[in-house]
Structure 1
Amino acid sequence: MSEKAKNIEVVHNEGQKRFVITVDGTPAGFASYLDGPDFRNFNHTVIKPEFRGQGLSAPLIKFALDDARESGIRIHDACSAVAGYIQKHPEYKELKS
């Protein structure tokens, strides 16, 4: 028995200062941030209960960190999920201010 492939997408909602992950078009979670004078402080990551356990926080956080890198923005990792991701993926440590 095979599980139906899911369409996962991450977008940056600048107006709400968050990155949003959707699964098959349904919002599944977000990583929010506060803007500093020269950095982005990731302060909260949420995956909705019905989507937990599917490994969605990793692509969400990766997308958000890649966006910061491409934009030349330093980051603070006040959110434990973001801090944990960076600890497991040291290639993002240079982004920390």
Structure 2
Amino acid sequence: MSMLVEDNPAAHQFEILVDDSLAGFAAYEQRPGVVVFTHTEVEPAYEGHGVGSTLAREALDQVRNRGDRVVARCPFISAYIDRHPDYRELLVDPDRKA
């Protein structure tokens, strides 16, 4: 199973493709220097296969590489950051979840 995460700025979301099929997305609002994650969804057929975690990790890595910060309004992204504290540095306010 090959997975690819791409930013789709026109749709305001990071998308994960599994074997060239759209398997999920992490929606966001772009603000100057800040990405506000609002909602993450994985298609039911792909749940339990690490698709959501791969999407979160690679989306956060892309945000980090751009030099942007994160507001994690999305519970999935927030929980991912809680489980992977090396991403806490991306949070606009690390002591505030949303």
TM-score calculated relative to the size of structure 1: 0.90
* 1:11 matches 2:11: no
* 1:42 matches 2:16: no
1:59 to 54, 62, 72: 54
Deviations 1:31-78 (A, max 9, x none): 010112331100000001111111111110111111111111011000
Matched positions, count: 92
Q: Distance in 2 between matches of 1:27 and 1:88?
A: 25
In structure 1, what is the equivalent of residue 95 of structure 2?
A: none
Structure (1 or 2) with the larger CA radius of gyration: 1
**Matched residue SS, 2:32:** coil
Shift of 1:15: 0.9
Q: Distance in 1 between matches of 2:19 and 2:78?
A: 28
Uncovered stretches (5+) of structure 1, i.e. residues with no partner: 1-5
Q: Distance in 1 between matches of 2:90 and 2:2?
A: 29
In structure 2, what is the equivalent of residue 68 of structure 1?
A: 63
Q: Distance in 2 between matches of 1:7 and 1:71?
A: 24
Query: Sequence identity of aligned pairs in percent?
Result: 36
Q: Distance in 2 between matches of 1:92 and 1:39?
A: 14
Uncovered stretches (5+) of structure 2, i.e. residues with no partner: 93-98
